A and B are shown apart, each in its own frame.
Chain A
C-alpha cells in the first residue's frame, strides 16, 4: 500500500526567503510523485511531478522538488517565496508499476508567506 506523510501542518516564511515543504512517501513499486496546490474554494492545481530521470524536477510558478530515493522524500522548494504562494500544498504518490492507479495524498501543508 502507498502512503504519504507531510510532517508539517503549517509552514510560515517571510516573503523573499526560500521555502521548503516536506514530503516523505512509501510505495512498493516505482514511485510516481506529484505536488498539487489548492487555493481557497478551488480545486487542486498541478505543480510538478517526478516519474523518472533527473532527481530535481522543475514545475510551475518557480517551484521545484527533489526526489531522494534513499530518504524516500520529495520535498517542494522555491528559492524566493511570494505572498501569492500562500495556499494549501498536497504531496501525492502512486505506484508506477500498477497502471493508472489513483493518487494517495498527504494531509496537506498550509504555507503562509508573510510580507
Chain B
C-alpha cells in the first residue's frame, strides 16, 4: 500500500517568509510524528498527534513553529518568519496501534527546507 507522503520535497524560503509543510500519513494510522533532521545529525522529535489531538509539542523549538491535524489525517507543519537555523529536513512518521503490535513508526521522504 501507499506509504507516508510529504510535500513539497524541497522548499527554498527567504528569511522571514512563512512556510507550510504537508504530511499524508498511511491510511488508518492514528499516530503522527514530526521530526527535524539537521545536516549530519539524527532526527529530533518536534511534535506528536493521536488522531486530531496534539498530545506532545515539547520538541517545537520556538513559538514560530505550529502544527495541526484538524481531521485526524493530513497534518501541516507551519513555520512562521523562517530563520536560517530552520534549514533542515523535516520528517513525518505515522504509526498505528494494533493489538499485540508495538508501534513501528514509518517515515515519509521528508521535506528539505533551505532558508536563505
Genuine A/B complex: yes
Instruction: State the A residues within 8 Å of B (CB).
Output: 4, 32, 34, 36, 41-46, 49, 51, 90, 92, 96, 100, 102-108
Question: Is B97 interfacial (CB-CB < 8 Å)?
Answer: yes
In the bound complex, residues from chain A placing their C-beta under 8 Å from that of B95 are 100
User: Can you show 11 pairs from A to B with CB atoms below 8 A apart?
Assistant: A4-B42, A34-B104, A42-B109, A42-B110, A45-B107, A46-B105, A46-B106, A49-B102, A90-B42, A100-B97, A103-B105
Interface string of B1-20 (1 = CB under 8 A from A): 00010100000000000000
Q: What 4 A-B pairs are tightest by C-beta distance, nearest first?
A: A105-B42, A102-B45, A43-B107, A44-B107
> Among the interface residues B44, B104, B106, B110, which one has the most CB atoms of the partner chain A within 10 A?
B104
Among A4, A46, A105, the residue within 8 A (CB) of B104 is A46
CB <8 Å contact, A100 and B45: no
> Among the interface residues A32, A42, A44, A108, which one has the most CB atoms of the partner chain B within 10 A?
A44
- What is the total number of residues of chain B having a CB less than 8 Å from a CB of chain A? 29
Interface residues of B in 98-113 (CB under 8 A from A): 102-110, 112
Bound complex: CA A49 to CA B41 (Å): 21
In the bound complex, residues from chain B placing their C-beta under 8 Å from that of A90 are 42-43
Interface string of B39-75 (1 = CB under 8 A from A): 0111111001010000010010000000000000000
Question: Is B21 interfacial (CB-CB < 8 Å)?
Answer: no
| Contacts known (A32-B102, A51-B102); A108 close to B42, Cβ less than 8 A | yes
Q: How far is the CB of B88 from chain A (nearest CB, A)?
A: 14
Among A36, A42, A105, the residue within 8 A (CB) of B44 is A105
Bound complex: CA A43 to CA B105 (Å): 12
Q: How far is the CB of A12 from chain B (nearest CB, A)?
A: 18
CB <8 Å contact, A44 and B102: no
Q: How far is the CB of B42 from chain A (nearest CB, A)?
A: 3
